[in-house]
Chain A
Amino acid sequence: MILYLLCIVLFSIGLYGVLRKRNLVKIIIGLGIIEYSMNLFFVLLGYRFQGRAPIDAQDQAILTMVDPLPQALVLTSIVIGLGVMALVISIAIRIYEKYGTFDITKIKKLKG
């Protein structure tokens, strides 16, 4: 149970980073932490107490196998996270070229 709660704590830390930080890079790090926490949470959902790797062999009973599906899904989600991260970082670099700063309070040409 405590593991799940720690996941939520990690998620909240990431959300705090996204919402409260002024530096673009720190916001991106916060986004990364959110993604890690939810991947961790999903993998934990598939865990069984004292489980073993989900490999089916002839002389082994299918009793305490961990659920393999969340692992496959999290792998997909990590790749998606990588794509988002690469895009957001490249946008942040271009923003730095245009504005000369990472501070979001100084990046405000859009109004209304």
Chain B
Amino acid sequence: MKTVNIIPLFVIIPLTAAFLIPLLGRLVKRFSEFAVFLSCAMLLYLSLHARILLNSLTDKILVYKVGGWVPPFGIAMVLDGLSSFMLVTVNLVTFCVAVYSLKYMNKYTDKPKFFTLFSLMLCGMNGVIITGDLFNLFVFLEIASIASYALVAFGTEAEELEASFKYAIMGSVASSFIFIGIAFLYGFTSTLNMADMARVLSFKQNAYLVHFVGVLFLMGFGLKAALVPFHAWLPDAHPSAPASISAMLSGILIKTLGIYALARVFFNIIGSTQNYLSVLMFLGALSMLVGVILALSQWDLKRLLAYHSISQIGYVVLGIGLGTPLGILGGLFHLFNHSVFKSLLFLNSGSIDYALDTRDLRETGGLAKVMPITAKTNLIASMSIAGIPPFNGFFSKLLIIFACVQKGYFGYASCAIIASILTLASFTKVQKFLFSGELKDKFKEVKEAPWSMVISTVCLAIVCLLGGLLLLTSLQSFMGDAADVLLKGTAYAKDVIEAALR
């Protein structure tokens, strides 16, 4: 029974850090940096440990009962293949971003407040992933969202406040839709536990209400994930935040609060029918094309990257929406890859901003001479996102395109290829205007970013380079288990209830 006790630690550790930092951060010098580094390192270790632990079990599921209450009555925390996959992704990126922020946040004042909000956001994301209770999911989602609204406004300049206000209003309306959806489901099934809810829903006949709730959830989670009709906040909010927060937002927040919650609700609770899947595929393909076309004409580096996030989220949703084993595997693999290379790109944009104090592509050029390591990591990330063969982005895009062709959706497959070509064009522009050409005189004195920032970007670049190895059979259970959870659909209920009774 001891092994189960690691599950709540994913929420407890960041919450403790968020509690201690404002108390001691001002009294003890460098306490906030130390606490954040330690908690992120512990979480990374624990998430890898949980992954290995799960591999040793036969049914690949662990349920922690909060307060000892058996699931339909109490809150359950569920660690299954999908949650452990998301935990590893989130905590890997967070660790690198935390190492990066130690130095980068010197640009801003008041580090303790920043790290408090950072830890709270991490706590919210880990909670969303690990919880097995629908209302608890809402609470954690709001913790992560409120922390991210505040972090977007962290610089308190005019643009940042404006973006944060827009994001906060749209995000709160989206949360209201999710809340109403939960209220309807509670009224219909009289339970809040996800597994129990799935079990009760499978007995109900003529559940028209469920389709209505599905639409509410699609609006709510779709806005958090920035799918195309709901994407208006993302290109403002993500560039305005400090670079390390942009990396967190684009890299993992939209995936945890958006894609993961959407997939969990649609596949494991409501049960995925072809209607939902068609809507998801259509929105995915639309996001893919619209995002990349809007990105082409951008000159602000971070804004360009933000539009690419919309486009890449489209790939993930298209893959998951296909509903076939290969499609879901490709979608989840792309989720992992995108969180790695998009956070790397945002961190690099932060390094450039840190050194040059500008991120307008028309003003830069020739930086390869003065910032050689950043140039190389940025090249790796650009090739990954554009889908050039040895890097991880190629394999996931290939899987998604194969899955489309396998199921006979040639239109969606060609959309994916077109979007990939346009992405390549866009990142060729980035590389050309940032790193090649003549170095301007006013940037002659520019130096490479500090070593702690360089280390974290190099780590992420190595993950980009080796990411394709995750498809090897010996490592495939990392994503295979996650895909299995989604493929199982509402049979998830039976597994959780059985595991809870052990």
Contact A70:B186 (CB < 8 A) given known A27-B169, A31-B169, A99-B158: yes
* Chain A, residue nearest B166 (CB): A110
Closest approach, in angstroms, between the C-beta of A53 and any C-beta of chain B?
19
**Contact partner, B159, options A24, A80, A110, Cβ 8 Å:** A110
Q: Which of B137-158 contact A (CB under 8 A)?
A: 139, 142, 146, 149-150, 153, 156-158
- Total A residues in contact with B, Cβ cutoff 8 Å: 33
Contact among A35, A45, A95 with B186 in the assembled complex (CB-CB below 8 Å): A45
Q: Are A112 and B159 in contact (CB under 8 A)?
A: no
Q: Which residues of A are found within 8 Å of B183, using beta-carbon distances?
A: 38, 41-42, 45, 70
> B161-190 interface mask toward A, CB cutoff 8 Å, 1 = contact, 0 = none?
111110011001100100110010011000
- On chain B, the number of residues with a Cβ less than 8 Å from chain A's Cβ atoms is 34
Looking at the complex, which one of A35, A91, A109, A112 makes contact with B176 (CB distance below 8 Å)? A35
**Docked complex Cα distance between A76 and B138 (Å):** 10
A74-112 interface mask toward B, CB cutoff 8 Å, 1 = contact, 0 = none? 001100100110011001101100110000000111101
Nearest A residue to B236 via CB reads: A110
Query: B158 near A109 (CB under 8 angstroms)?
Result: yes
Asked whether A87 and B149 contact (CB < 8 A) given A94-B161, A109-B162, A110-B162, the answer is: yes
Please give, as numbers and ranges, the residues of chain B lying within 8 Å of A66 by CB-CB distance: none
Q: Does A6 contact B (CB under 8 A)?
A: no
A112 and B161 contact, Cβ closer than 8 Å, known pairs A70-B186, A77-B179, A87-B168: no
Residues of A within 8 A of B (CB): 11, 15, 18, 24, 27, 31, 34-35, 38, 41-42, 45, 69-70, 73, 76-77, 80, 83-84, 87-88, 91-92, 94-95, 98-99, 107-110, 112
Q: Would you list the 4 A-B pairs with minimal beta carbon distance, nearest first?
A: A98-B158, A45-B187, A42-B183, A80-B142
Known pairs A24-B165, A94-B156, A112-B303. 12 more at Cβ < 8 A?
Answer: A27-B169, A38-B176, A42-B186, A45-B187, A70-B186, A88-B149, A88-B165, A91-B153, A91-B164, A95-B158, A109-B158, A110-B163
7 A-B pairs in the complex with CB atoms less than 8 angstroms apart: A42-B179, A70-B186, A83-B142, A83-B146, A91-B165, A110-B163, A112-B298
